Amino acid sequence: MSWADWLNGRGPDVAPSLLGAVLTSRTDQGRVAVALTEVEAYDGPDDPASHAWRGPTPRNAVMFGPPGRLYVYFSYGMHWCANVVTGPDGTASAVLLRAGRVVHGHGLARQRRGPRVGDPALARGPACLTRALAIGREHDGIDLGSGGELSIEPGARPLGVSVGPRVGVSRAPDVAWRFWVTGDETVSAYRRSPRA
C-alpha cells in the first residue's frame, strides 16, 4: 500500500492504522518525533461532533481537501490541536492526534513543555502533543508526505488496541471512535463532556 493510499479512507477506518505511526517535527531547534498512541476519528458532515458537520468554512477548509494534510485548529482560546486529513478530496474525514510517545528529541520536547514534565506526559493530550512538536497555525494545511517541516510515516502496529467514546465531545458522546494503545502510559485520561 502506498503512502497516499494509507490515508485515503474514512476517518474511523484509518484511525487505528495511525497508532504506532511516527510524526516528526523538524525546526531549526532540532527534531522531535512521537509514535502515536491515541487518536480520534471525525467523519465529516454526518458526524455531529465534527467541525465539518455544518459544511465547509474558512476554519475547516483543509478537512475537505485531499488526504495526508494536517488540519490545525485553535481551541479554548489557548491551545492548538492537530488532525491528519483522511478520505478522498472533497470529503471531510479527519483523525485527531491526541497523544504519542516521544521517541526522539526528549530534551527539546521538555524545553517546550516544561522542566517538570515527565517523559510519558510530554505528548499526552492533543494540546500537549502540538506543543511538544511546536505545531501551530502556520502548519494548517501542510502536506505530511513531502518530507517537510512535519511528516508522518507508518510505524510498528501496537500489540493491543482499545476502542471507546471520544473525549470531551458534547454531540454524539457515545460514538466509539477513539482508539488507543492498550495500557500505554502516554495515553490521556478519558473525560466525558458535562453537556453530554
CA distance 107 to 130: 16
DSSP 189: P
2 or 84: CB nearest DNA: 84
Calpha distance 174→8 (Å, rounded) = 25
Assess contact for 45 and 92: CB atoms under 8 A. Answer: yes
Q: How far is the CB of 94 from DNA (least distance, A)?
A: 5
What is the pattern of x (binds DNA, CB under 7 A) and - over residues 139-168? Answer: ---------------------------xxx
Q: Report 16-75 residues binding DNA (CB under 7 A).
A: 40, 42, 49-52, 54, 57-60, 63, 71, 73-75
Site for DNA (CB under 7 A): which residue of 7, 62, 70, 94? Answer: 94
Residue that is written with C-alpha cell 458537520 in the block: 53
CA distance 143 to 149: 9
| Measured distance CA(3)–CA(84) in Å, rounded | 13
**146: number of Cβ within 10 Å:** 10
Among 32, 36, 70, 81, contact with DNA (rule: CB under 7 A): 81
Nearer to DNA, 3 or 73 (CB): 73
- CB 64 to DNA: min, Å: 12
* Cell numbers standing for residue 196: 453530554
177 binding DNA? (CB under 7 A): no
- Under 8 Å between Cβ of 129 and 97: yes
In the complex, least distance from residue 136 CB atom to DNA, rounded to whole angstroms: 12
Binding interface with DNA (CB under 7 A): 40, 42, 49-52, 54, 57-60, 63, 71, 73-79, 81, 83, 94, 96, 113-114, 117, 125-129, 166-171, 188, 191, 193, 195
